[in-house]
Amino acid sequence: MNKLYYTLVAIGMILSFSACKDDFLDRAPKDQVDAKFFFNTAKDLEVATNDFYKMLPTTAVYTDDASSDNIVPLIVSDKVRGSRIVPTKRGTAPWNWSSLRDINFFLANYHKCSDAAARAKYSGIARFFRAWFYFDKVKNFGDVPWYNKVLEADDPDLYKGRDSRVLVMDSVMADINYAVANIPAEKKLNAITKYTALLLKARIALHEGTFRKYHGLGNYEQFLNDAVSASLELIQSGAYTVFTAGGKDKAYRDLFARNNQDAVETILAADFEMAIESHNLGFLMTAQTSGAWGITKDLINSYLMADGSRFTDKSGYQTMGFYNEMQNRDPRLTQTTAGPNFAVNGQASPEPVTLSSSTTGYRVIKALPPKDQWTTSYFDIIIFRYAEALLVYAEAKAELGTITQADLELSINKLRDRVQMPHLQLAAANAAPDPYLEQMYPNVDKGANKGVILEIRRERRLEMFNEGLRWDDLMRWKEGKKLEKPMVGIYFSGIGSHDFNNDGVADVYLHTGDASGAPKSVTSLINITQRPLRNPATGATGTNSGNLDPFPARGIFDESKDYYYPIPLEDLSLNPNLSQNPNWK
């Protein structure tokens, strides 16, 4: 399997393409002799564009949800706490522009290659990455300066102000359209292809269309139609399908936990190999003093019953014990979090119940590798997969008001088929919108498709959990205030013993500092003076019954500023034509 991130020794000897990590505005001009002797063959273009792959996320795909309402980590992120501050140092992420000059330098020189097919392919890949780069900038900052050329020291555009979001996003769409048109339609697991470009186009267009719709920016329909067309083209290509190997109780979990991905559902993956390149995701999922990720209770509540009915319609769902709440649910629930009698991949016996490595008690097992990778991991990381195209298609059609039952059969219901869940029915969803989801998303479109939009959001949150999309989803739906709602965990009826497996033997013991009464069978002790409980009815904390409450301070989200990041002070000082984002001081 080819590596997604290539060793660049050869190009480093020929062209110092990305050695400088400083802000691109301050970098020395490229040596024109390098360009003269380099961009002449298809191999030159390939090697040059390989360097751009470093822009793609790897482990961040599976860690970014810990900065959202999906997961509470041991240390809650600044953007969830509402404690972000204006950075001082220029080029502080995400206001970092170092990759853009490299892309523009390539696009200024690739035409020197005489191979027309290579020129088309690799210029398409370069423009894919410029679209990626600017999409990220617009998400984080709104209006930004648009540069499609290499800036030299005497260029007056060095210190221009922001260009409009309209201009930048139209340019982004032009780049991704070029990429779709020029990159070959190949199935390559570790390389950008036409299919990768189609999915990125669908993601960009859905984000921009819904952001404009819910933030009142206008002209959102154009982008939602682009999201529909791009996702439909990918669907109708027949190149990918939903991964179903292992059946409804294994396929979803196995898709992510495999050491090596294949090109059934996975469109693009980062390749890792033992003793060659590794990562720390297994450690983050299992270490008590590192990530300690805990899934939030309202996500657990969002999984439907196996018969398609709503769990949150059941009487007493708020105070239901762990074993009972895990019964007869969407099979993805216990392939995402450790349910009763959970066994680690590769182990025949169930894992002892342990709540010490999870802030909420709901452990993350999606992509959890076998135990031999809990310290150093080398399983592949999915960056783009086909399921997202199905979700984009359904959501864009619903937000446009053009969705039909046939559209649901083409998209959302393919994902439900993987786990043998009943199909989503358009008429039923719109006739009786879920009040639990209505409370979760108060800004949702109030029109005739409200019910199905809410159900598609449910499906997206569950299916794409811990794949790095949740923060962006809340931002584009204008639901930042969701971060201020309680992020709690497992419910306990009181101090004492609790049987998590319904086998008549205690697994968990709650106490207030004295655990001497715990039965010998207990494998997890919880001192509620250190891990407080929150009463779901009253909201009181420090009670003897309630949900684990690892983040009692709650998130803070300022609607007037927190949909964007602030620009670093040094960048504002260097360029007086730049203005700070609203209400960041």
Q: How far apart are CA 303 and CA 329, in angstroms?
A: 7
pLDDT of residue 291: 85
For 473, other C-beta atoms within 10 Å of its C-beta total: 20
Containing 458, the helix (H) or strand (E) segment is helix 450-463
Q: How far apart are CA 257 and CA 253, in angstroms?
A: 6
Q: How far apart are CA 32 and CA 406, in angstroms?
A: 56
Q: How far apart are CA 61 and CA 332, in angstroms?
A: 19
**Start-end of CATH 1.25.40.390 domains in the chain:** 42-60+91-237
Q: How far apart are CA 584 and CA 79, in angstroms?
A: 13
Parallel/antiparallel/unpaired status of strands 381-385 and 508-511? unpaired
pLDDT of residue 10: 34
Residue in the block written with tokens 């682009």: 226
Count the helix, strand and coil residues of the chain and give each as a percent rounded to the nearest 5. 45, 5, 50
Q: How far apart are CA 222 and CA 399, in angstroms?
A: 12
The tokens for 282 are: 């297994």
What's phi and psi for 575, nearest 5 deg?
A: -125, 95
Beta-bridge partner residues of 382: 269
**3-class SS of residue 574:** helix
CA angle 62-65-71, nearest 5°? 115
DSSP label of 448: T
pLDDT of residue 581: 97
User: For 515-543, b where at least 16 C-beta lie within 10 A, e where not — what string?
Assistant: eeebeeebbbebebeebbbbbbeeeeeeb
The candidate with the shortest Cα–Cα distance to 454, out of 524, 395, 390, is 395
DSSP label of 279: B
For 414, other C-beta atoms within 10 Å of its C-beta total: 19
Q: How far apart are CA 541 and CA 320, in angstroms?
A: 18
Parallel/antiparallel/unpaired status of strands 533-534 and 546-548? antiparallel
pLDDT of residue 5: 41
Global pTM value: 0.93
- Taking only the tens of pLDDT, the chain with its 585 residues reads 344 443 333 333 233 333 333 343 344 444 444 676 799 999 999 999 999 999 999 999 999 999 999 999 999 999 999 999 999 999 999 999 999 999 999 999 999 999 999 999 999 999 999 999 999 999 999 999 999 999 988 898 999 999 999 999 999 999 999 999 999 999 999 999 999 999 999 999 999 999 999 999 999 999 999 999 999 999 999 999 999 999 999 999 999 999 999 999 999 999 999 989 999 999 989 988 888 999 999 999 999 999 999 999 999 999 999 999 999 999 999 999 999 999 999 899 999 999 999 999 999 999 999 999 999 999 999 999 999 999 999 999 999 999 999 999 999 999 999 999 999 999 999 999 999 999 999 999 999 999 999 999 999 999 999 999 999 999 999 999 999 999 999 999 999 999 999 999 999 999 999 999 999 999 999 999 999 999 999 999 999 999 999 999 999 999 999 999 999 999 999 999 999 999 998
Q: How far apart are CA 130 and CA 126, in angstroms?
A: 6
pLDDT of residue 486: 96
Q: How far apart are CA 455 and CA 475, in angstroms?
A: 18
Domain 42-60+91-237: give its CATH architecture. Answer: Alpha Horseshoe (1.25)
Query: CB neighbours of 330 closer than 8 A, spacing ≥ 6?
Result: 303, 304, 305, 306, 419, 421, 462
Containing 181, the helix (H) or strand (E) segment is helix 165-182
CA dihedral 365, 369, 374, 380 (to 10 degrees): -120
